[in-house]
């Protein structure tokens, strides 16, 4: 059964690769008790090898969501490694909270990258959404592995001196744009999306689909609107071919994993890890060249939340572009233009 399932998935993804415009191989890395499935795309044969780029997706995206950037980076001479994070697709789906902390995920990603990097090589890392938050943790804890970082949507934050629960922060008038997370972190949320069609409708809502009469299935105040969720139409930022494989990979093996929503349940653990890192001499200074891009129309992480992050960077460039949350899809041409120019300006790219 396992063989036939993965054989079927391999045939399905082969067709998807052709439709998305880049070639890749399915690879697997065994890290501790978990297995990560990742896409590996080699640089264009006509280009001089420029290095390795690690791409870290957010919630509830998958590695395939980077297809526009994978095509760009391979054309610039980069080998691309794009994992499906824990809880997704063919990667492991642990139920416990601890594997989903930013520190643990960052440590896992560092091990995956080290199996690919050539001797003495440093990589570029790119993240979006929760992937961006994990990437910030990755570059401060494993700075020796990287020559540059690109993050989308989620800015860099240092830990507060005292832990403040999200509900308390919102009650105090802070972080109100994250109110939807109170719903997402509720126990048993994954049970609302069991089965292929339920999950399909969830995806359509998140990728900005609407009902026939224009009602949204989600907002940053209340989270999901379950009254209309089953009536979502195909979303503008998740084409049908990608929607099909997201649904297939997430619902073919088992029930929707608890871990998918665990990304919203680790806040206190993440704070504790960060304070311990800080108390052990860890630095929040990022010295490598850094690029941050946010969407002016992003209701979930507004650009103004990035104000002041410059103080922790030696070399940071920030761009605001005309986009919502799904920058790498909605505004892929503009984003790729920025990435191409920025990477081209790096001394480490030219060497």
Token code pair at residue 338: 């920025």
pLDDT value at residue 348 = 62
How many Å apart are CA 260 and CA 245, to the nearest integer? Answer: 17
Owner of token pair 């946010």: 294
Mean pLDDT for back-to-back runs of 10 residues, the chain (351 residues): 41 56 91 96 86 97 96 96 96 95 98 94 97 98 97 97 96 95 96 93 96 96 96 93 92 77 97 97 97 96 95 97 96 97 80 48
pLDDT value at residue 85 = 97
How much is the pTM? 0.93
The domain locations on the chain are: 11-350
pLDDT value at residue 214 = 96
CATH 3.40.50.1820 fits 11-350, yes or no: yes
Token code pair at residue 233: 């139409």
């Amino acid at each position: 059964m396992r063989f036939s399932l993965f054989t079927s998935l391999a045939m399905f993804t082969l067709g998807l690769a052709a439709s998305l415009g880049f070639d890749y191989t399915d690879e697997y890395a065994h890290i501790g008790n978990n297995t990560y499935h990742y896409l590996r795309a080699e640089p264009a044969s006509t280009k001089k090898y420029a290095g390795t780029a690690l791409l870290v997706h957010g919630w509830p995206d998958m590695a395939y969501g980077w297809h526009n950037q994978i095509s760009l980076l391979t054309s610039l001479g980069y080998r691309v490694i794009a994992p499906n994070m824990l809880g997704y697709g063919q990667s492991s789906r642990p139920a416990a909270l601890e594997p989903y902390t930013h520190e643990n995920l960052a440590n896992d990603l560092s091990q995956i990258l080290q199996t690919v990097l050539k001797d003495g090589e440093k990589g570029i890392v790119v993240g979006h959404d929760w992937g961006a938050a994990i990437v910030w943790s990755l570059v401060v804890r494993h700075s020796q592995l990287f020559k540059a970082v690109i993050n989308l949507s989620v800015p860099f934050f240092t830990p507060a001196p005292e832990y403040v629960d999200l509900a308390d922060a919102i009650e105090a008038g802070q972080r109100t744009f994250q109110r939807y997370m109170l719903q997402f972190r509720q126990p048993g949320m994954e049970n609302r999306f069991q089965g292929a069609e339920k999950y399909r409708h969830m995806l359509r809502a998140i990728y900005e689909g609407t009902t026939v009469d224009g009602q949204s299935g989600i907002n940053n105040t209340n989270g999901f609107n379950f009254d209309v969720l089953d009536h979502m139409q195909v979303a503008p930022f998740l084409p049908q071919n990608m929607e099909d494989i997201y649904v297939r990979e997430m619902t073919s093996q088992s029930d929707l994993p608890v871990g998918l929503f665990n990304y919203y349940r680790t806040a206190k653990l993440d704070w504790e890890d960060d304070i311990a890192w800080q108390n052990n001499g860890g630095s929040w200074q990022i010295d490598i060249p850094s690029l941050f891009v946010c969407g002016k129309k992003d209701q979930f992480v507004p650009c103004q939340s990035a104000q002041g992050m410059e103080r922790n960077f030696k070399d940071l460039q920030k761009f605001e572009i005309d986009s919502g949350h799904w920058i790498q899809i909605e505004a892929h041409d503009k984003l790729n233009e920025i990435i191409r120019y920025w990477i081209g300006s790096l001394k480490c790219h030219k060497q």
